[in-house]
A and B are shown apart, each in its own frame.
Chain A
Amino acid sequence: MRQIDSQVLTETVEKGFIEITHLPGGDLIAALDKARQEEDSPIGKDILTQLLENARLGREEQTPICQDTGNSIVFMEIGQDVHIVGETLSDAVRRGVSQGYTKGYLRASIVGDPLERKNTRDNTPPFVHTEITSGDRIKITMMAKGSGCENMSRFKMLTPAQGRQGVVDFVVDTVLQGGGKPCPPLIVGVGIGGTFDMATYIAKKSLFRPVGEHHPEPHVKELEEELLEKINNLGLGPQGWGGRATALAVHVETYPCHIASLPVAVNIECHSHRVKTVTI
């Protein structure tokens, strides 16, 4: 049994959120650059150029690339041969977020009660998911997820009769309805199958793949390609001001489901895609 001090978790989370909010990943930069080269609207090209310039400023001046430093989402795969000593896992992660957002001059965007709406002032609580795996390590994925795009996400229970075509129509319509609001170009996370909760869970998880990396199964990869093509034919373009680059990528995850069900969840992610995985 390997012991891990909870303080290590806290520090990893603290550093992780400070880093991701100003340092976009190479996969995202490459996707934005490719979109800029392929963009046929002059205004769209100009926006993509400015987004790359914004990313450069974030990196050089350590300023958050977007003022919405997000919902703090933490996914953990915990090896079953690990024992955490010190604080509870949830307290350790919460403290990491609190310290990171305070020391890193990140925006506190969370209210403690959805109806009373009083800001907690340190972006806590984070939204934590855990899975138990084999081994003696902990893999932590942190994501600062903007709410402008989260708000444009949708879920629907389709019928098995609606099938694949129903999924395509629902995903494309979700992007169209979002228009310029979720800050296109987007990364569209799609979860198909499972239950009500599972579909949304895998939709979010799909966003952790490197931008544009396809699903290993050929029929799912094909669906991703078809969806990306249809979405980029909508004409919304960067910011919805017109053009080709409405989405940089579509990531689909699937899960077994009931004979009566075809749940579909679309988790919309903006171009301020801030994700990092650390293994301890």
Chain B
Amino acid sequence: MMNDVVKIRPPLDEKTVRSLKAGQRVLITGTIYTARDAAHKRMMELIKKNEPLPFDLKGQIIYYVGPTPAKPGQVVGSAGPTTSSRMDSYMETLYKLGLKGTIGKGNRSQEVIDLVRKYKAVHFSNIGGAGALIAKTIRKCEMIAFEDLGTEAIHRMEVENFSAIVAYDSEGNDLYKEAIKQYGR
């Protein structure tokens, strides 16, 4: 596993995506978008009806998160990742529209691992249950669509040195499988 931390800034181009390898730590600075279960359902409905999405997916990163409400004076409340695999069935549609990255927790299906390779994308994981700490790297958080969904609305976030690890890379490597191989007894 590689230990060097690389800094990346979305939108991601193909060269950057190809350079990222499973197990590599990254620090993300710039704009990312939040969406989880209900927002994905809504986006699929819009795509079906040929209507525009709340943001252009090209090269972008979606963070699977539903934060707690911000207290007065806070940018955002607690904001750690939710389980990635619940969004597995939406991935091919989103990759076709140019999405390059996703951030969540936990392993995903083989189908998604294959899609990450096919569409030259990347999937990151960050630490589930570290929401207070992760929120420290979120500088701005603005609701941009589906307000009625509450915590599941789509937000645009400005992040600075947001820490994650490459879980699945564009060559089909898999952090989770490697982990078990290395540490299982």
- Taking a contact as CB atoms under 8 Å apart, the answer to whether A54 and B131 are in contact is yes
Which of A54, A119, A271 meets B133, CB within 8 Å?
Answer: A54
Q: How far is the CA of A236 from the CA of B129 in the complex (A)?
A: 16
Q: How far is the CA of A58 from the CA of B133 in the complex (A)?
A: 8
Does A153 belong to the interface (CB within 8 Å)?
Answer: no
- Taking a contact as CB atoms under 8 Å apart, the answer to whether B179 and A148 are in contact is no
Does B32 belong to the interface (CB within 8 Å)?
Answer: no
Which of B127, B132, B181 meets A64, CB within 8 Å?
Answer: B132
Q: Is the interface of A mostly helix, strand, loop or mixed?
A: loop
Which of A61, A151, A180, A243: most chain B CB closer than 10 A? A180
Instruction: List which A1-52 residues lie within 8 A (CB) of chain B.
Output: 22, 40-41, 43, 47, 50-51
Contacts known (A239-B105, A241-B179); A58 close to B38, Cβ less than 8 A: no
- Shortest Cβ distance from B21 into chain A, in angstroms? 14
Does B70 belong to the interface (CB within 8 Å)?
Answer: yes
- Taking a contact as CB atoms under 8 Å apart, the answer to whether B133 and A50 are in contact is yes
Q: How far is the CA of A59 from the CA of B179 in the complex (A)?
A: 32
Closest to B74 in A: A63
Q: How far is the CA of A163 from the CA of B71 in the complex (A)?
A: 51
Closest to B178 in A: A242
Instruction: List which B158-181 residues lie within 8 A (CB) of chain A.
Output: 165, 175-176, 178-181
Does B77 belong to the interface (CB within 8 Å)?
Answer: yes
The interface stretch among B51-59, B60-68, B112-120 is B60-68
Does A57 belong to the interface (CB within 8 Å)?
Answer: yes
- Shortest Cβ distance from B183 into chain A, in angstroms? 3
Q: What residues of chain B lie closer than 8 Å to A239, measured between beta carbons?
A: 105-106, 125, 127-128
Closest to B134 in A: A54
Which of B131, B151, B181: most chain A CB closer than 10 A? B131
A residues with CB within 8 A of B = 22, 40-41, 43, 47, 50-51, 53-54, 57-58, 61, 63-69, 105-109, 117, 119, 121, 146, 148, 151, 179-183, 233-237, 239-244, 270-272
- 19 more A-B contacts (CB under 8 A) besides A67-B79, A243-B179? A41-B182, A54-B129, A57-B136, A63-B74, A65-B78, A65-B132, A67-B68, A68-B82, A107-B78, A109-B66, A109-B151, A119-B152, A148-B82, A179-B107, A181-B107, A183-B128, A233-B184, A234-B180, A241-B125
